[in-house]
Structure 1
């Protein structure tokens, strides 16, 4: 599996996305924006959390190439929680949080995990399959000010923060590696190409393969600037710009064949 990635902050802001690549796996994290004036109970922010969680996940996946991905995530969340338990109020429902997407190659299979609104997409003999945890999109009462009421609760949505049990709510699966041509993991700053701007996942794959992952992010910025009304229709989820990250994983055999 050959890996390539690009990440870019929303214009004028710090990038709270984070990527970890290693032989055999890729981790994509999207720190949830904290609103001014809301007490998180934590001396850290999402930027710290994505780096701390990324490091813990990478250590677990590097140590055990067969560990179940949801188990690895639960352990990583617990380890990060322990790192700031002495300085922060971990019972605060607004504690920093992050989405998680993982793809992992092991003998015979490609594994994936998705928690909250990042996406994993792969192409095999049956076409294109997208795995998206879209529970936030179906919450009638959800907005950025009332998020704490539905976060990491049954009937709400789940995200990586201070509760290891959130990992058990992730979407996980495995596909035979000899059937997969290519795989992608991206944050919602990239999936808006499909969700809001009308592209199909095959078109996103084509952008990333022809021009590299950066080309997909350039397309995002072009749409955000030229067609902001499409985002405005999203109402509560509207942001004209967002951090954008894409990891492209390509089968070595697929790349060599030029298929």
Structure 2
């Protein structure tokens, strides 16, 4: 599998995204902006780097395990790394979305937890964007709202301190021979489609033909031209995309 990717922080900021890839897998993470009083001495980059590394290790060493069990195990191991120093019962503990892709012997498997989408183009030219859109239906988006609904039934689920969050991920599998290309991204990149009316095909075309950095430049230009307050959420965000091709056995 051929993979090209980029991960860039908000201009002047620290990158809370993380991407790691091998010849048969890709992991894309988007760490949530840290809430106050998290009960944790670590920042979001600490979490995403360790979670991403744990996921990558399991994807290499446990090739036949389900993606759900791989994610649950990775969350559990990261929790063990700071259980002695941090209050893991705090609902504001650092957290991350997850997008995984694994190229198996004959399949392309994916997992999505929270709002980091995976766009898949099949060999017939059809494009399907797969996401976990639970955050679109929350009763509110203040810090208190997020604390009440994060990793709770009826709310939304992220990778943080509860391994059972993995059971709420969106998972699926396709025949590898039917997959032309796949793009995994954080919502700082998918906003080109969700806010700025690009198509998924256009986004993948630019990232593939002009390089992932061209897609980031397009995001920054669109963000810069947007008046503050036009959309809910941040005007600028960390942007990560990984484009995958060549799904041969």
Structure 2, unaligned stretches of length 5 or more?
A: none
TM-score after normalising by structure 2: 0.96
Q: CA deviation at 1:206?
A: 1.0
Distance 2:70 2:171 in 1: 12
Partner of 1:112: 110
Contact 2:19–2:52, Cα closer than 8 Å, also in 1: yes
Q: Equivalences for 1:1-259 in 2 at 5 Å?
A: 1-35=1-35, 38-124=36-122, 125=124, 127-228=126-227, 232-235=229-232, 238-251=233-246
Q: Distance in 2 between matches of 1:28 and 1:158?
A: 16
Please, what TM-score do these two structures have when normalized by structure 1?
0.92
SS at match of 1:67: coil
**1:59 Cα deviation after fit:** 1.1
Taking the aligned partners of 2:171 and 2:127, their CA distance within structure 1 comes to 17
- Alignment RMSD, CA only? 1.3
Q: Deviations over 1:167-223 (max 9, x none)?
A: 000000001110010001000000000010010101101111111111111100000
Aligned mates of 1:122, 1:211 — CA distance in 2: 19
Q: How far off is 1:126 after superposition?
A: 5.9
Greater shift in the superposed pair: 146-155 or 244-253: 244-253
The total of aligned residue pairs comes to: 247
- Kindly indicate whether the alpha-carbon contact (under 8 Å) linking 1:2 and 1:249 is maintained by their aligned counterparts in 2: yes
Q: Which runs of 4+ in 1 moved over 2 A?
A: 140-146, 232-235
Give 5+ residue unaligned stretches, structure 1.
Answer: 254-259
